[in-house]
């Protein structure tokens, strides 16, 4: 199969953004893969991921994604969370080791999702993934692949997940889709909201654009949209929505008022006591002395949420 | 052979176009903030949903009508699907794709297969 894929890649110039292994559909992974109570399932998953990374490497893939579909639990009555997390950490370290061994230079991604099919998935959201990567000393080897519908399942807006990742310098790639707020599950619809795509592209431009990742349409047409032409309509719509989002985000940045507002909002940290705190030259005692002398804090200013929402609408 | 014989390469026609099989905003060569749209966005098509999802849900079987697919897990069917996928991505103008191992290669009888 890899030969056929490679031949088509060479014929068309289309490249592999990332590969991954399906460690959730086969019944052997009913209790999870790297977090299964059955050590043999862990071993099988290791062999499967080894092969998937090798094929991704062979096809010149620019990345490899870990999405733990069943790396979580259905009930805590039968689950040892600490042991399962240790196993997942060990699994990813083995993946890093194998990557080095075969000389694969692609970026490793971890993809948050809070639930479905499990009741709770360990990679719940961007913050949980970052904490997991730090705990197991994996931060330098992984970036996040963020999916809109996974963010909303976690009770976050996509913009929240993106900003959390950008703040940690860990945004790698995007699984572009959208959910339906009236439905509580992962509907994986094609993204058409220009507000959403503008937010995505603002965060992306803020971090300087993609280095290895991309806008990956992890999205499916509706069950009623059953004809091949619907696949074209869906992708064209998603691409147009992101193109508009890009132009809007670029215009907001070129205008500069939003960025200037945020910069100005934090100006108390650019000099005086704020600067002392940020540079580590203050402690509770010096701060107590400072504020006793001053008496009360400098008057707070409006957050101007409505003003800013209107400002954004100027561009949409 | 063409698996989407009636569909030509999707082109940018601008926001005024009423052609559903054209881009209204995505012009891959247009420069935005110093880079082409193509290089900013790096669009990628996923193999699993676009070429492997029968569109089933927990209440019913798949509805997807895919004239090229014989519904089997044979290697021949999987190889034909690769041709379909690349024709689709070429006509769409997506520079990237992504896959799950099991989407492109059917599960063999053993891991070594």
Q: Which of A52, A233, A239 sits opposite B101 (nearest CB)?
A: A52
pLDDT band at B107, cuts 50/70/90? confident
pLDDT band at B110, cuts 50/70/90? low
Closest CA to A21 of A39, A9, A3, A34: A34
Q: What percent of chain A has pLDDT over 90?
A: 99
Q: Which of A21, A62, A232 sits opposite B92 (nearest CB)?
A: A232
Report the pLDDT value the prediction gives residue B8, as an integer from 0 to 100: 97
Q: Rounded to whole angstroms, how far apart are CA atoms A18 and A27?
A: 25
Report the pLDDT value the prediction gives residue A6, as an integer from 0 to 100: 97
Give contacts of A240 with chain B, Cβ < 8 Å. 23-26
Report the pLDDT value the prediction gives residue B113, as an integer from 0 to 100: 46
ipTM topping 0.95: yes
Query: What's the whole-number average pLDDT of chain A?
Result: 98
A3 touches chain B (CB under 8 A): no
Tokens of A223: 């069950």
Give contacts of A9 with chain B, Cβ < 8 Å. 86
Partner-chain contact B75 A65, CB within 8 Å: no
CA dihedral over A9, A11, A12, A13, signed as positive or negative: positive
Whole-angstrom CA distances from A219 to A161, A170, A300, B12, B55 are 18, 23, 44, 22, 11
CB A111 within 8 A of CB A20: no
Q: Which residue of B has its CA nearest to A8?
A: B86
pTM metric for this prediction: 0.97
| pLDDT (tens digit per residue) in A231-285 | 999 999 999 999 999 999 999 999 999 999 999 999 999 999 999 999 999 999 9
Instruction: Tell which B residues from 43 to 62 touch A, by Cβ distance under 8 Å.
Output: 43-46, 49-50, 53, 55-57, 60, 62
Q: Rounded to whole angstroms, how far apart are CA atoms A199 and A188?
A: 18
pLDDT higher than 60, residue B71: yes
Please report which helix (H) or strand (E) contains residue B26, including its range: none
What's the whole-number mean pLDDT along residues B51-58? 95
Which residue shows structure tokens 């290697």?
B75
| pLDDT (tens digit per residue) in A4-57 | 999 999 999 999 999 999 999 999 999 999 999 999 999 999 999 999 999 999
Report the pLDDT value the prediction gives residue A149, as an integer from 0 to 100: 98
Closest CA to B55 of A230, A303, A206, A311: A230
| pLDDT (tens digit per residue) in A169-190 | 999 999 999 999 999 899 999 9
φ, ψ for residue A304, nearest 5 deg: 55, 40
Report the pLDDT value the prediction gives residue B103, as an integer from 0 to 100: 86
Beta bridge partner(s), residue A120: A73
Q: Rounded to whole angstroms, how far apart are CA atoms B10 and A237?
A: 12
């Amino acid at each position: 199969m890899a030969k056929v894929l490679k031949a088509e890649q060479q014929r068309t110039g289309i490249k592999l953004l990332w590969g991954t292994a399906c460690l959730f559909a086969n019944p052997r992974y009913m209790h999870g893969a790297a977090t299964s109570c059955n050590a043999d399932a862990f071993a099988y998953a290791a062999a499967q991921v080894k092969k998937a990374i090798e094929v991704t490497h062979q096809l010149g893939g620019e990345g490899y994604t870990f999405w733990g579909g069943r790396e979580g639990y259905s009930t805590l009555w039968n689950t040892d969370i600490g042991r399962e997390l240790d196993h997942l950490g060990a699994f990813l370290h083995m993946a890093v080791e194998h990557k080095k061994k075969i000389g694969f230079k692609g970026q490793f991604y971890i993809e948050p999702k809070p639930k479905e099919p499990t009741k709770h998935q360990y990679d719940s959201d961007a913050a949980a993934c970052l904490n997991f990567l730090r705990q197991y000393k994996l931060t330098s080897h992984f970036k996040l692949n963020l999916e809109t519908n996974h963010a909303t399942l976690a009770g976050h807006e996509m913009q929240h997940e993106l900003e959390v990742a950008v703040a940690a310098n860990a945004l790698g790639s995007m699984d572009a889709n959208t959910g339906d707020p009236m439905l509580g599950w992962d509907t994986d619809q094609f993204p058409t909201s220009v507000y959403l795509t503008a937010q995505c592209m603002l965060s992306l431009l803020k971090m300087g654009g993609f280095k290895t990742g991309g806008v990956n349409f992890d999205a499916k047409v509706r069950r009623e949209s059953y004809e091949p032409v619907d696949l074209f309509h869906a992708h064209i719509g998603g691409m147009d929505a992101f193109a508009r989002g890009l132009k809007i985000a670029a215009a907001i940045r070129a205008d500069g008022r939003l960025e200037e507002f945020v910069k100005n909002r934090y100006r108390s940290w650019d000099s005086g006591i704020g600067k002392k705190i940020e540079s580590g030259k203050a402690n509770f005692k010096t701060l107590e002395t400072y504020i006793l002398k001053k008496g009360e804090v400098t008057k707070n200013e409006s957050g101007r949420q409505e003003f800013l929402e209107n400002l954004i609408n100027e561009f949409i | 052979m063409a698996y989407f014989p009636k569909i030509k390469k999707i082109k940018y026609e601008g926001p005024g176009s009423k052609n559903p099989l054209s881009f209204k905003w995505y012009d891959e060569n247009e420069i935005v903030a110093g880079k082409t749209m193509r290089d900013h966005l790096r669009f990628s098509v996923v193999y699993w949903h676009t070429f492997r999802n029968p569109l089933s849900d927990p209440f019913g079987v798949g509805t997807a009508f895919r004239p090229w697919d014989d519904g089997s897990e044979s290697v021949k069917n999987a190889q034909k699907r690769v041709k379909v996928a690349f024709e689709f991505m070429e006509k769409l103008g997506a520079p990237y794709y992504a896959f799950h191992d099991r989407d492109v290669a059917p599960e063999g009888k053993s891991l070594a297969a």
